Structure 1
Amino acid sequence: MRLSSPSSDKFGGFDSPMTEGQFAELTNVSRGTMSDYIAWQQLLLRWNKRINLVAPKSLADFWRRHALDSWQICQFLPEKAANIVDFGSGAGFPAISAAIQCKNIGQGRVLMIESAGKKASFLKQVIRDLGLPADVSSDRIEKIAPLGADVITARAFAPLDRLLEYAAPHSHAATEFILLKGETVEQEIETARDRWTFDYKTVKSVSADSASVLLISNVKTVAPT
């Protein structure tokens, strides 16, 4: 199921915090999946008091800015994707959502790449507590052996041109990219075209008016002239 942007009237507009109930109504996730999102939120609230995982003020709108924003990538995950890699996972956006989806459908595994040790420890705690099919690597992406990812995801990791450079050793001809991007997405696409060829589609975000989900496939380097 693919959703259009939520109604401003029904869900309070992009500037208003979303409630847990509104998230459940909009996404129509199962009771078990909702329990995993709630557990993730509670762990984040507890850990964020000790280490700076996310800006504290953003936690007041966890259900829109983090949960919904991350959940929307699940609409685009290929059914047969076995190896999902998330760059710069931070507090798990969108990696934890992808792992919850894999758990829900019984297909796929997520590798979360996060070089900050404390954030990596948080991700490991969430994975253990929620029983997610996922792993964490605290190595820098440049030092990781080729991963052969079926899907690469990221939020606020790097401009597209640099992201594709980081991804090149870890992707194959059929790798699909599902990227959460802000208002500079068109500029990033134009810049990346100097070095890469690819098919792409932008889908309006359901969590922020100026954001989008960028779907990329068939990535190749531009042939020298």
Structure 2
Amino acid sequence: MQKSPGVALNGLRVSRETLQRLETFADLFSKWAKAINLVAPSTKDDLWRRHIVDSLQIYQLCPGNHRWLDLGSGGGFPGIITAICLAEIGEGWVHLVESNNKKAAFLRTALLQTGGRGSVHAVRIEDAAAVVPDCDIVSARALADLDLLLEYIEPWAIRNENLKALLHKGRDYAEEIDKAHGRWRFDLVKHESVIERDSVVLEITGIKRLNASSSR
């Protein structure tokens, strides 16, 4: 069956089927956000640009059949958006890690109603490696500074030398990179955000902890 032509969201193209899933998610998000705090109140009225499209760029940096791990999934960004994109190709999977039970319930409902390809794990990030032992890509958005994020990601990087991390970062990202280099060695590609001029998506591979002697 021929698919409908795609549509553009801030220059990012999606199919009409994916757009419909995103609209379903946006409606659900608006209902749940009245009862629980899913995103910063100051950004809630700009849902599509600040959150949905901002998350969409993550998947479009690395589309295809991959095993994703989304840390601190919160209101579903970027994890649910990635799961919706995977639904179109019928391959790949997202493991969403969110320790807050109310937010985890929202994420499960969102996957069910949109048909997104994913599952929710209501555990602390520090305990997630026991539940989700393997993945290809780790994503995180508005979660922690880079040094701590690499600490979180390390268990999966040890198991998979080809692991890739795709991490949203704001205007202070250069300082975070400098700080992280004090404890970590990694390869880095910076992708300019399609949403915010001063923001980037950091594509990080080859994550290894520096030992005490090599960091001096």
Report how far residue 23 of structure 1 moved: 5.5
CA gap 1:217/1:54 in 2 versus in 1, 3 angstroms: same
TM-score, normalised via structure 1 length = 0.85
1:12 corresponds to: none
Kept in 2: contact 1:48–1:56 (CA 8 A):
no
Kept in 1: contact 2:162–2:206 (CA 8 A):
yes
Kept in 1: contact 2:156–2:163 (CA 8 A):
no
Report how far residue 60 of structure 1 moved: 2.0
1:203 corresponds to: 191
Are 2:22 and 1:37 equivalent residues in the alignment? yes
Kept in 1: contact 2:10–2:53 (CA 8 A):
no
Kept in 2: contact 1:175–1:217 (CA 8 A):
yes
Stretch of structure 1 that moved more, 56-65 or 212-221:
56-65
Are 2:107 and 1:123 equivalent residues in the alignment? yes
1:69 corresponds to: 54
Report how far residue 142 of structure 1 moved: 1.0
1:19 corresponds to: none
Where structure 1 has 5 or more consecutive residues not aligned to the other structure, the ranges are: 1-21
1:6 corresponds to: none
CA gap 1:137/1:96 in 2 versus in 1, 3 angstroms: same
CA gap 1:212/1:187 in 2 versus in 1, 3 angstroms: same
CA gap 1:66/1:170 in 2 versus in 1, 3 angstroms: same
Report how far residue 41 of structure 1 moved: 0.6
Q: 1:147 aligns with which of 133, 138, 141?
A: 133
1:190 corresponds to: 178
Distance in 2 between residues matched to 1:73 and 1:40, nearest whole Å? 17
1:60 corresponds to: 45
Distance in 2 between residues matched to 1:183 and 1:57, nearest whole Å? 18
1:16 corresponds to: none
Report how far residue 25 of structure 1 moved: 6.6
1:161 corresponds to: 147
1:178 corresponds to: 166
Report how far residue 27 of structure 1 moved: 2.2
1:51 corresponds to: 36
2:112 maps to amino acid = R
Distance in 2 between residues matched to 1:161 and 1:55, nearest whole Å? 23
TM-score, normalised via structure 2 length = 0.89
Stretch of structure 1 that moved more, 72-81 or 46-55:
72-81
Report how far residue 80 of structure 1 moved: 4.1
Aligned-pair RMSD on alpha carbons? Answer: 1.6
> Aligned residues, how many?
203
Report how far residue 57 of structure 1 moved: 4.0
CA gap 1:80/1:47 in 2 versus in 1, 3 angstroms: closer
Distance in 2 between residues matched to 1:190 and 1:108, nearest whole Å? 33
CA gap 1:59/1:122 in 2 versus in 1, 3 angstroms: same
Distance in 2 between residues matched to 1:209 and 1:109, nearest whole Å? 30
2:209 corresponds to: 221
Give the secondary structure class of the aligned counterpart of 1:93. Answer: coil
